[in-house]
Amino acid sequence: MSPATAYSHTGLTVRSLAASLRFWHHCLGLPVQRRFTLSGPTVPTTTGAPPGSVIHAAHVALPIPGAGNAAAGPTLELLEYEIPGRPHAEPIKPRAWEIGAAHVAVRVEGLGGVVERAEAEWWGVVGGVATFGEEEVEGQLRGWRVCYLRGPDGEMVEVM
């Protein structure tokens, strides 16, 4: 029997929780489940952050196809660290093909509108919008439009 019993969430460290919520909630339409602040000795003990660090966080719901209720599924945890005496670090912007690069994939309705909102905020598309052809992929993805967006902190989000 596996010691892992269920998937819980994926965490993403961000520079500004407000800017990230503008991307994940307003641009992509994902519902915000909850917002909270973590402080005290648990923060440095679990994360290795310096003592006195505070985390401002929010969970956005990730919809499960066919479930009908995004609030019942897994979440993306957005974490803004407040480190005493330190400015925010610059975001990393890995390229999709680099080892360790990660992305979150989200199905959307109206891909063109999502891309327009992202570009209006200067987040933008990583490459371009493409359509999966018959020679590229088998099964259900044939004909799907897809692209990678860059969020406010350099994170990659595949929208299809």
Domain edge (last residue) among 48, 67, 88: 88
- What pLDDT, on a 0 to 100 scale, did the predictor assign at position 33? 94
CATH at 98: 3.10.180.10
Average pLDDT over residues 133-138: 65
Provide the strand spans (E) within 62-101: 75-82
> 9-18, 121-130, 134-143 — which is least confidently predicted?
134-143
Q: How far is CA 118 from the centre of its chain?
A: 14
Secondary structure letter of residue 72 according to DSSP: G
Closest CA to 48 of 77, 14, 83: 83
Res 49 pLDDT > 70 = yes
Domain shared by 79 and 106, yes or no? no
Domain shared by 99 and 76, yes or no? no
Average pLDDT over residues 141-146: 81
Tell me whether residue 157 is in a domain: yes
Average pLDDT over residues 65-90: 80
CA distance 30 to 12: 15
Q: Positive or negative CA dihedral for 106, 71, 35, 22?
A: positive
CA distance 37 to 54: 7
Res 71 pLDDT > 90 = no
Q: In Å, what is the CA distance from 107 to each residue of 16, 31, 50, 62, 104?
A: 25, 14, 38, 10, 10
Domain shared by 80 and 96, yes or no? no
Question: Into how many domains does the chain fold?
Answer: 2
Domain shared by 39 and 109, yes or no? no
Domain shared by 67 and 96, yes or no? no
Domain shared by 23 and 62, yes or no? yes
| CA angle 101–109–21, rounded 5-degree value | 55
- What pLDDT, on a 0 to 100 scale, did the predictor assign at position 94? 81
3-state SS assignment for residue 148: strand
21 lies in which domain range? 9-88
Res 4 pLDDT > 80 = no
CA distance 10 to 57: 12
Tell me whether residue 56 is in a domain: yes
pTM: 0.84
Res 60 pLDDT > 90 = yes
Look at 144 and 61; give whichever has higher pLDDT. 61
Q: How far is CA 79 from the centre of its chain?
A: 11
Split at pLDDT 50, 70, 90, the class of 50 is: very high
Amino acid at 26: H
Average pLDDT over residues 69-81: 81
When the pLDDT of each residue in the chain is averaged and rounded to a whole number, the result is 86
